[in-house]
Each structure stands twice: as C-alpha cells, then as structure tokens.
C-alpha cells in the first residue's frame, strides 16, 4: 500500500486534512488489485462480510407478522447480520469482497437494517462513530508501513461465538 500523496481536491481545513490522511492512492493485493479507495469503503465492506457481532438477539415488543410467520410479544428473535448482509436484494454479488460498492453513499440508499454491523435504531452501538474513527486511524497508520498478505492458501473459517472471529487464527 502507498501513503497518501495527492491532496489537491480536498476541502480546506481540518475536515480536508482528515480526509487526506485516510485516503490511499493505491492498494495492491496479490489476489485482487483494487483501484484507489477510501479506507472507510474497505472497512464498511469488511464489516458487511464479517460483522463484529454476527447476530443480535431481540425481544418482540408488539405482536406482529414477519412474512407469513406470526410473532408474539415477548418472543425472542435473532437479527442476523451475517445473513442480511449477504442478501442479493441489497448487495449485488453479495459473497464478493467489493469495497467499490460503498462509493456514492450506498449506506444512505439502503433500507433500514439492510446493513447494521453496529445494530440500529434506538439500540445502535453508542461507540459506533468512535469505532469507525479508530479503525480508520489504525488502518491508515498501519497501511503507511506494512502490507497484509495471507500466511498460506488455507481458507480462513469464521467461528461464531459472541463475536465473529477466525476459527484457527494464523499469525
């Protein structure tokens, strides 16, 4: 990965400085070369495919129907990001890692709860903005010096505990 070098088209002031800090000119990956993207797009796409929490339990407050299924008040359901984030109604080629899909404000055009790695509504994670800012900052800092490569061709199998993580992490 290369460090940011082109700042001509950024807005003036602190906002432009932050945008400049978090942009990469080029990301080269041996498996899939990507054009210039913002780190935010890469992070959004990573959390779409591998949400930090793969499902969230919900207690039904009001009797309702979900599709053809009646749901009674007090029953529990799982809102499963792992499944919803792979729904072809909202994401073309849903199993493909494609950060470009987030260009042009895709997140604003999606229906509520089509993408919810931090929950949503009144129960959205209070740390959402901080987590995104911190992730972008850390990734931008690391990307200035290091390249990420796979240790081997062995597939990484997700393991669904409270959080989603690799079953056998390779370091």
Q: Rounded CA gap, 166 and 85, in Å?
A: 18
Kindly give the confidence (pLDDT) of every residue in the chain, 171 residues in length, as a single tens digit, with 9 standing for 90 and above. Answer: 333 333 344 444 444 444 444 444 344 444 334 444 678 888 999 999 999 888 988 899 999 998 999 999 999 998 899 999 999 999 999 999 999 899 888 989 999 999 999 998 888 899 999 998 898 888 878 877 777 776 777 777 888 888 888 887 665
All structural domains of the chain? 14-150+157-166 (1.10.630.10)
CB 102 within 8 A of CB 45: yes
Count how many Cα atoms sit within 13 Å of the Cα of residue 53 in the half-sphere of its side chain. 14
Residue bearing tokens 């209070």: 126
Count how many Cα atoms sit within 13 Å of the Cα of residue 101 in the half-sphere of its side chain. 22
**pLDDT in the model for residue 168:** 76
Burial zone of 20 (CB within 10 Å; 0-12 exposed, 13-18 middle, 19+ buried) = middle
- The tokens of 159 are what? 């393991």
Main-chain dihedrals φ then ψ at residue 48, nearest 5 degrees: -65, -50
Predicted structure pTM score: 0.72
Give me the torsion for CA of 13, 19, 20, 22, rounded to 10°: 150
């Amino acid at each position: 990965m290369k460090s940011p070098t082109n700042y001509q088209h950024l807005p003036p002031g602190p906002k432009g400085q932050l945008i400049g800090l978090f942009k990469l000119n080029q990301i080269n990956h041996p498996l899939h070369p990507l054009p210039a993207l913002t780190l935010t797009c890469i992070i959004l796409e990573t959390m779409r495919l591998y949400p930090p929490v793969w499902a969230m339990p919900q207690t039904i407050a009001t009797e309702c129907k979900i599709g053809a299924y009646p749901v009674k008040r007090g029953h529990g359901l799982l809102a499963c990001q792992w499944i919803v984030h792979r729904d072809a109604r909202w994401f073309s080629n849903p199993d493909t890692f494609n950060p470009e899909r987030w260009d042009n404000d895709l997140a604003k055009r999606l229906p509520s709860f089509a993408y919810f790695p931090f929950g949503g509504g009144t129960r959205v994670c209070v740390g959402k903005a901080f987590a995104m800012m911190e992730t972008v900052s850390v990734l931008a800092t690391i990307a200035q010096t290091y390249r990420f490569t796979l240790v081997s061709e062995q597939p990484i199998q997700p393991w669904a505990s409270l959080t989603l993580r690799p079953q056998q992490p390779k370091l």
